[in-house]
Structure 1
Amino acid sequence: MSNTYSIGDLAREFDLTTRAIRFYEDLGLLQPQRSGPGGRSRIYSLRDRTRLKLTLRAKRLGLSLTEAKDIIDTYDSPRDTGAQLSKFLDVLALHRKQVEEQMADLQANLDEIKVHQREARALLAKADQLDQADQADKAPAAKPKKPAAKSRKPSTRITP
């Protein structure tokens, strides 16, 4: 593994667009060296690669890029590790609280959806029963069969 990377190298490694990497650079998350005519070529160091990796990890955790930058910048400062870790824990605690609140809201929404589903299913079942009853009422009634004609015996009655 080399100690320097092109923008294309980092884009391929982290499955990003070069535009995304330039965006992170614009935010101050990455600080590549410039080379070539007019400083048009970017040369990223191992430090930039690590910062990019940490930035992407922070994004996966749901942190904003500003929060990610604040945390990552603490590692570049000569402060003691205890202060850096405390700041990191504070940011994580705040983010955890926000995520838990979102989860509670989502659970409430899910519960409400379940209630509406049950009600809709009950109404649908009732409508199906009414449709079946209507169908039965509209069906032509079977005509009662006439009893077969009885054969008549000859009359024994005498007529005057």
Structure 2
Amino acid sequence: LGLSLIFAGAWLRLWSIRYSGYRVRGKKFEAGLAISGPYSHVRNPLYIGNILMLMGMSFLSELLWLTPIVVVFSLFSYTCVSIYEEKELLPKQYGWEYEKYTKAVRRWIPRCKPYKKASPFFPWIDVIKTEIGAIAEVIAIITACAIKELLN
């Protein structure tokens, strides 16, 4: 279960970055509001991917009591961040388009039917380059858990 959650979270992060591009990595490149791909189902797919990965890591570490704490803390902290960004920054930057999007797509609970279909904005090779550090961290954590199991 732990590995499945980690892989699902990592996949969701990569898929999300493919549709949001450099905007999440602090670059100056701007392509507009991300509303397609995973963003057409839920407004915060990157945060959900992170939470899934943290849950998976708590399962792998066999500290099951940590899982609800991780989920609650993550939801609280991400909600504080996303509420600020969503209420203060994004309406100023995207105006009417953002208002329409927030009425159609929820923050945490995915919708089944996509809000908008579109081609990915960011090539897979660039996604991998952008996320290589996070990918290496996931591999290191999985390797550490595997070594721990082998030594027990």
Per the normalisation by structure 2, the TM-score is 0.28
Task: Name the structure, 1 or 2, with higher relative contact order (CA <8 Å, separation 6+).
Answer: 2
Higher helix share: 2
Per the normalisation by structure 1, the TM-score is 0.27
Higher strand share: 1
